[in-house]
Structure 1
C-alpha cells in the first residue's frame, strides 16, 4: 500500500493535529464505553430482572468481540486502507450504540454490545496505525501521548459520566451519548484523514483466523468466567481456557510457515518491540486490575455513591494529564529506558498506600496517592508503546499496532480476573453470622453484611445489628482489599524487570525508512 508523505519537522503542525483529533474521538468512544457500562450493571439487573452473571455479559460480550476482530485489523488495514476501514469501524460502533439504547431484553443488549465490540475492536489499532504514519519518526512520542489521554482517563471519566447520566436521565443515555460523537467523528474522518490508495495485498490467512480469533475468544471467555466461579477447577473456566490456549499455541507454531500470517510474530525479532510488549503486558495486568478495585473500595467500604467514587479517583487522571505531554516530548528526544523507570517508581510509591488501607484511611492521603500514581502513569504507558512501534518500518506499523493491542486486551482481561478472584476469595473467608442467611439460603458473613450496610445504611435500621459486628466486618473487608492491592503492588515492582531492558541509547527510527528521502521531506497531505 502507498503511504502518504510525512513531514519530519519536530513541531506538531495543524494538519497532523487534525488527524490526531479524529483518532482521539474514536478512542474516547471506545474506551469510555467500557467503563461507563461497568457502573450500569446494577441498573441492568433491576431493569431486565436478570442475575449479575447474566448482565455481566454486556461487558464480556463486548470484550470477546474486541478479541475476535483485533487480529483482523492489521490485514484489513493493508488491504482496504486505514481511512475507509476506520470509518467503517466508527459506523459499526455508532450503529451498535443506537441499537443498545433500543434493547428490550438482556439478550438483545448483549447481542448489540457484540456488534459495538466489532467496531470498537478496530478503532484502537487502526487509530495507532494512522497516528504512527502521520507523526513521522521525530514526533511519534508526542502524538502517542495525545492518544494516551483517553486510554488513561477512560477508567476515570467513565464512572463519573455513567453515574451522572443514570442519575439525571436513564441507562439508555450511556449509549445514546455516542451517537452525536460518532456522527461528528465520521464527518471529521472524511475531511481530515489522508486519502487511501490501497494496492493488491497478500491473500487472507483463513487458517490463521480459524485458530487465533476463536482461540483468543475462548481463552478470554474462560478467564472472564473465573470471578463468577471463584475457582479454576470449574469446567466452565478450564475447558475454554485450555481449548483457547491450545488454539493460540497452534497458531503461534503455524504462523511462521505462511509468508503473510494473520498476526506477524516475526516482528518479535525486533528487540525493542519484544521488550516493550512484555513490559506493557505486566504493567497492564497491574494497572487494569487495580483500576477496577479503586472505585470498588470507595463504593463498598466507604459507602460512596457511584458519582462520588468517580470523583474521588479523578486525581489520578489529573496527574496523568500533567505528565503525559511532557513524557511524549521526552520520548521523541530521550531513550525511554532513561525516563520510564522514574515514572514507574512514582506509580509504586502511590500504589503502596493502598496496601495499608482500612475503613477510615484519610481521603487526602488516598487522593494524593492516586495523583502521584497518575503522574507516573502519564510517563509510563505511552512511552512504552512508542518504544514498541518507533523502530518498525512503515509497512510493519499496522501489524505492530495489532500486536500491541492484543497484548493490552489479554493483559486487561487477565488483570481484572486475577484481582477479582483474589478479592472474592479473601472476602469469602470472612466469619459467617450464626443463623443468618440470604434469600437464596447462603450464609451471610460479617464482611458481606458490613459492605451491604455501607452501601445501604437503611438496612441497619430495618434489621438492627450490633454495630461492633459491622465495624469488624468492615475491617475484614478493607483488609481483603489491602491484600489484593499487595498483589498489584508486586506486579508493579515486577514491571521494573522488563523495563530495565528498554533502550537507553537513542536509535534511528525506521518508521519511514522505506520511503525516498524526497518524500519524507514533503508535508502531510490532508484530503
Structure 2
C-alpha cells in the first residue's frame, strides 16, 4: 500500500460532493417515513368519525405501522449483503410510496390498517439502510458529521409530525396525510436513481437465516406492542401486556442464543457487536432514548390535560426542541470527529438533564415561554447526543460489520423509545393515584373531577414523572462516561484493512 493511500483518512476529513449527495438522498427518503410514525396520531379521532369505528380499533392504524416498522428492521443487514444497499433502498422507498398512495385511497379501516403495514415494511428498512450506506462511505474520520445528517429525520419527527398532522386535519382531508408522501418521496426516488452508485458490495451466496427471522421479527414486534399497550394505559398485570412482553422477551433472548451459535450466518451476527465501544454507546443510547421520548410524551400531555391546550397548541411546545437540536447538531458532529464523542455526548446528556429539571417545576399557571425555554434547552442537548453516540457505536468495527451494527443499533433504539413511553405512562399513572386518591390513573378521568385543586395535583404528578425521567438520564451518563478513549491511530488502520 502506498503512502498516499495510508494517509487518506487523515487528509480527507471534509465532506466531498459524493458523500454530500448520498446524505441528501438518505434524508429525503427517510424523513417522511419517520414523520409518519407521529403524523397520524392527531387524526385518530377524525378517522374514527369518518369510518364509524371505535378508538380501540382505529388505534391499529398507528400500531400496525409501528409493528411492521419493527419487524422489517432486523431484515436490513441480510438484505443489504444479499441484494446491495442501492437496490434495497429503491425497493423500500417504492414500498413506502405505494403504501402511502393506497392509504390515501383506503375505503375501510381494515384496508387502511393493511396499507399502513405495507408502508411500515418499506419505511422500517430505509433508516438502517441509509445509515449503512453513509457509514461505509464516510469512514471513521467523518462519522460524527455523517451521523448528524442521519439524526435529522429522527429529531424532526416528534416535533413536525403532530404539527403537520394538525394542520392537515384542520384544513384538509385526512387522506392528505398520506398523499403528501407521494410527491415528496417520488423526488427522493428520482434522486436515488441519479445519485446512488451501483451496488458493488453484495453476495449472491448470502442465505436468509429463516429461524433467526422467525425469532427476532415477531419477538421485537411483540415486545414493542406490549410496551406500547403500557404506554396507552394498559394494566401491567393484564393478560395482553404480560403475554406480549414475556413472549417478545423470550423470542428475542432465543434469537440472541441462536445468533451466537450460528455466527456469520445469523440474521444479525451479534458476535461482531460485542465490542466495548458498541455495547456502551448503544446502551447509553437505549437509556437516553427512553428518557427523551418520555419528555416528548409528557410535554404535550401536560399542555392538553393541565393547561387545556388544543392538540396543535400542545404540539407547538415541542417545536423549540427541534430548533435547539438543529442548532447544535452539525457543530457537535464536527467536534465528535475531531475530539471524540464521549465528552460531547456527556455534555449533551447534562444539558438535557438541565432542561428536564426545569420541567419538574411546572404548575398549572406556568407560562408557555417557560415551557418552550426548557424544551429549547432539551433540544440543545439532544443535538449533541445523537450524532456523538451513533458515531461512537461504530468505533473500531470492521467494514463488514456495518450492516449488522446499523440493524442492531436501530433495534435497540426502537425498543428503548417504546420502553421509555411505557415507563413514563406507568410512572405518571402511579403519580396520579398518589396525588389524587381514588383516581384510576386515567388522565382525562382525573382531570374531569373539576375540583379546585385538581390542576395543581395533576401538575404535581407530572413533576414527579419528570424527576423519574431525570433519574434515567443520570443512569445514561454511566455508559457514556465509561466509553474508551479514541485511539487516534485506529482510523487509519481500519481504513487500510477495509479499504
TM-score above 0.5? yes
Could you say which residue in structure 2 is the equivalent of 1:76?
79
Task: Choose which of 412, 416, 423 in structure 2 pairs with 1:411.
Answer: 416
SS of corresponding position for 1:256: helix
Q: Give the CA deviation at 1:450.
A: 7.4
Task: Choose which of 457, 472, 475 in structure 2 pairs with 1:476.
Answer: 457
Q: Give the CA deviation at 1:430.
A: 6.6
CA deviation map 1:8-56 (0-9, x unaligned): 4111122211110010012211111111112112222222233332222
Distance of 2:232 and 2:440 partners within structure 1: 18
Change (3 A) 1:489 1:431: closer
1:145-294, aligned counterparts within 5 Å?
A: 145-197=148-200, 198-228=202-232, 230-258=234-262, 259-294=264-299
Could you say which residue in structure 2 is the equivalent of 1:88?
91
Residues 346 and 372 of structure 1 are in contact (CA less than 8 Å); yes or no, is this contact kept in structure 2?
yes
Could you say which residue in structure 2 is the equivalent of 1:457?
none
1:359-378, aligned counterparts within 5 Å?
A: 359-378=364-383
Distance of 1:405 and 1:78 partners within structure 2: 17
Residues 344 and 377 of structure 1 are in contact (CA less than 8 Å); yes or no, is this contact kept in structure 2?
yes
CA deviation map 1:399-433 (0-9, x unaligned): 10000000011111111122122223444567599
SS of corresponding position for 1:357: coil
Distance of 1:303 and 1:14 partners within structure 2: 49
Residues 429 and 441 of structure 2 are in contact (CA less than 8 Å); yes or no, is this contact kept in structure 1?
no
Q: Give the CA deviation at 1:137.
A: 2.3
Distance of 1:375 and 1:321 partners within structure 2: 8
Could you say which residue in structure 1 is the equivalent of 2:498?
515
Q: TM-score, normalised by structure 2?
A: 0.92
Change (3 A) 1:446 1:264: closer
Could you say which residue in structure 2 is the equivalent of 1:504?
485
Q: Give the CA deviation at 1:511.
A: 5.7
Q: TM-score, normalised by structure 1?
A: 0.88
CA deviation map 1:65-99 (0-9, x unaligned): 12211111100000000001001110111111111
Task: Choose which of 34, 41, 44 in structure 2 pairs with 1:41.
Answer: 44
Residues 338 and 504 of structure 1 are in contact (CA less than 8 Å); yes or no, is this contact kept in structure 2?
no
Change (3 A) 1:476 1:42: farther
Distance of 1:115 and 1:305 partners within structure 2: 31
Distance of 1:387 and 1:82 partners within structure 2: 22
Distance of 2:436 and 2:70 partners within structure 1: 39
Task: Choose which of 87, 101, 106 in structure 2 pairs with 1:103.
Answer: 106
After superposition, the CA RMSD in angstroms is: 2.3
Could you say which residue in structure 1 is the equivalent of 2:30?
27
Could you say which residue in structure 1 is the equivalent of 2:320?
315
**1:15 matched to 2:18:** yes
1:412-431, aligned counterparts within 5 Å?
A: 412-427=417-432
Change (3 A) 1:376 1:432: closer
| Most deviating of 168-177 and 479-488 | 479-488
Distance of 2:234 and 2:57 partners within structure 1: 16
SS of corresponding position for 1:40: helix
Residues 334 and 506 of structure 1 are in contact (CA less than 8 Å); yes or no, is this contact kept in structure 2?
no
Residues 267 and 273 of structure 1 are in contact (CA less than 8 Å); yes or no, is this contact kept in structure 2?
no
Q: Give the CA deviation at 1:229.
A: 5.5
| Most deviating of 21-30 and 40-49 | 40-49
Change (3 A) 1:239 1:299: same
Residues 39 and 165 of structure 2 are in contact (CA less than 8 Å); yes or no, is this contact kept in structure 1?
yes
Change (3 A) 1:445 1:327: closer
Change (3 A) 1:432 1:487: closer
Change (3 A) 1:154 1:511: farther
Residue ranges of structure 1 left out of the alignment (5+ in a row)? 434-442, 453-464, 517-527
CA deviation map 1:266-323 (0-9, x unaligned): 1233111111011010001111122122122222222222222222221111111111
Change (3 A) 1:101 1:333: same
Task: Choose which of 468, 485, 488 in structure 2 pairs with 1:487.
Answer: 468
Count how many residue pairs are aligned between Structure 1 and Structure 2. Answer: 488
